[in-house]
Structure 1
Amino acid sequence: MCTCHPGRKEGNMYEKFHELPVEKQTCIINAAMEVFSKNEYKQANTDDIAARAGISKGSLFYYFHNKRDLYLYLYDYTANVMKSQILDKDFWKITDLFERIRYGALCKVRILKKNPHILDFCVRCFYSKEEAVSSQLNSMNTELTDNAAESYFAGIDCSKFKDGVSAQKVYQMMNWMSDGYIHSKRMKEDALDLEQMMKEFEEWMEMLRTMMYKEEYLHECNRDT
């Protein structure tokens, strides 16, 4: 199951929860994820979570001290699910930055399709404002983003980039475009279409690849496709 976020010390905080059968842990996690994905933090009702999980509210707070602890646990759980299913052996075999970004994006889409509540929960976590957990979430999001960047750059072949082009800045641009896309959808209150988002993502990558790669590597990419 989930391990504690590296920025916090877990100790025995979730010991009782981790003593439950895995099926029961999963049931509670899914119930909490559903409620938090559909509501802002303040409006998420722990009575609803307990009812969906088939336990009493007292039992829920026996496993988690309060709503805030449960919410942050779900954040850790989600981060670990993503990390374990993206950073696999195939991920590390890829040395082209754009291909590694594409691989990670496809993995995320696959995970989110299987776990629809994770998508809305993640969006709320990354765009949380004026919530009781917003300050800590912002710090955790920054740490998570920095750690992800380190993974994407490890072993990357930067010789493909034109002179003066920073691979780090290219990666940052991709993140900004993705954030802007999601923010635009939220402002319009449009549902996120993962297939459409991935299509747009592919187009952005190809435009950046054309602008940032040396000519000989563009020809190489065309042969590969």
Structure 2
Amino acid sequence: MRRYPEIGKFTLKVYYEKDPEVRADIQKSIAKYADFKQNVKQLNFDSSQFVPGIDIEMMYNDMYWASEGYIWEKIQDEKYDVDMMERDFLKMVDFWKSIYLRKEGEHDEGN
């Protein structure tokens, strides 16, 4: 988005396309990334990294939906700031880590 801002803008507009004829095909293409069950194998993460009892699928959906909502809000003003968006996403990632990942030294009882 920094190097080729026009391509970034085009990609975001396509993602949120409103024309029903085009939207259906675009959404079908995107759907595979939104589906946790399809992506869980590709994610290849160690569930022991996470807070015990966490619903991993809900965590994934939380991140996906928050990201989607954030981007939707930002593209409403076509003068969005890529640097600010990156800072905001890094802040969200740090927040998710603070609530979903085990703290240093935590381990399951019985291990």
TM-score by length of 2: 0.75
Asked if 1:138 corresponds to 2:15, the answer is no
User: Does the Cα contact within 8 Å between 1:182 and 1:192 map onto a contact in 2?
Assistant: no
- 1:195 counterpart residue number: 83
Match of 1:149 among 19, 22, 39: 39
Larger Rg, first or second structure (1 or 2):
1
- 2:13 counterpart residue number: 124
Asked if 1:163 corresponds to 2:52, the answer is yes
Match of 1:210 among 78, 84, 98: 98
In 2, Cα distance between equivalents of 1:164 and 1:194: 36
Alignment of 1:1-225 (within 5 A): 112-146=1-35, 149-150=39-40, 153-154=43-44, 156-187=45-76, 189-216=77-104
What are the Cα deviations for residues 106-128 of structure 1, in whole angstroms up to 9, with x where unaligned? xxxxxx32222221121112111
Distance 1:152 1:121, change over 3 A: farther
Give the paired residue count: 105
Higher RCO by CA contacts (8 Å cutoff, separation 6 or greater): 2
C-alpha RMSD over aligned residues: 2.5
Q: Which amino acid is 2:5 matched to? A: P
Gaps of 5+ in 1: 1-111, 219-225
SS class of match (1:125): helix
TM-score by length of 1: 0.41
Give the percent of matched residue pairs that are identical in Structure 1 and Structure 2: 22
Gaps of 5+ in 2: 107-111
Q: Which amino acid is 2:39 matched to? A: A
User: C-alpha displacement at 1:132, in angstroms?
Assistant: 3.0
In 2, Cα distance between equivalents of 1:125 and 1:164: 38
In 2, Cα distance between equivalents of 1:217 and 1:191: 44
